[in-house]
């Protein structure tokens, strides 16, 4: 069953994780404990993102599609629970310096075709005002799928870019540090 997993991180790295930086204690979180997380399919891949505004979602640029159907208010993606909202994208904005070979700047914004109804199961997470160094949690639908939000004390600090597997020796993960993109996010939202 594909249920929301919450992985606890010791530290966030922009580059590959070292042995001491591995996620620990992956577990299914309480229902709607991460109400900012969204779900969408990109071909055969499960992807995540974070709601940052009723009309905007942040995700990884790796699985860019021009038309995305975002599901918010989910806990179990295999069951209808009554709290889900399915909203199509109006536009998808990949970071202008995204490099598909290196995965540099692997971040994108999804503008929803209509505002999500915000309530206790659908919440916008705050963007960072500075770069944090400790106490991370990653929310995802599987083993750290692309776009999964990296959260520190209720603030979006990172976005899962890619990784071969979570918590596996010699299997690195890469994360976009959201604090480096806050100006781009605000400017993109204001322009669109």
| pLDDT on residue 105 | 94
- 139-184 pLDDT tens trace: 655 575 788 888 888 899 988 887 665 556 666 667 889 999 999 9
The total of structural domains in the chain comes to: 1
CATH of the domain at 82: 2.40.10.10
- 14-38 pLDDT tens trace: 333 333 444 445 667 778 888 999 9
Distance CA 188, CA 96 (A): 11
Domain interval for residue 109: 5-191
> Which of 110, 141, 139 has the alpha carbon at shortest distance from 45?
141
Whether the per-residue pLDDT at 116 is higher than 60: the answer is yes
């Amino acid at each position: 069953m594909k249920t929301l997993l919450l992985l606890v991180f010791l530290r966030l790295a922009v580059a590959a994780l070292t042995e001491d930086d591995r996620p620990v204690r992956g577990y299914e979180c309480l229902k709607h404990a991460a109400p900012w997380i969204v779900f969408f399919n990109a071909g055969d891949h499960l992807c995540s993102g974070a709601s940052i505004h009723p009309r905007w979602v942040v995700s990884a640029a790796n699985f860019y599609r021009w038309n995305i159907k975002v599901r918010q208010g989910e806990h179990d993606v295999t069951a209808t629970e009554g709290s889900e909202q399915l909203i199509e994208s109006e536009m998808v904005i990949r970071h202008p310096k995204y490099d598909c070979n290196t995965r540099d700047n692997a971040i994108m914004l999804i503008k929803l075709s209509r505002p999500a109804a915000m309530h206790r199961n659908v919440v916008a997470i705050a963007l960072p005002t500075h770069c944090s160094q400790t106490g991370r949690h990653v929310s995802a639908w599987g083993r750290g799928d692309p776009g999964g939000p990296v959260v520190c004390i209720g603030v979006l600090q990172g976005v899962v870019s890619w990784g071969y597997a979570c918590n596996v020796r010699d299997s690195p993960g890469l994360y976009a540090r959201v604090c480096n993109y806050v100006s781009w996010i605000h400017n993109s939202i204001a322009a669109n």
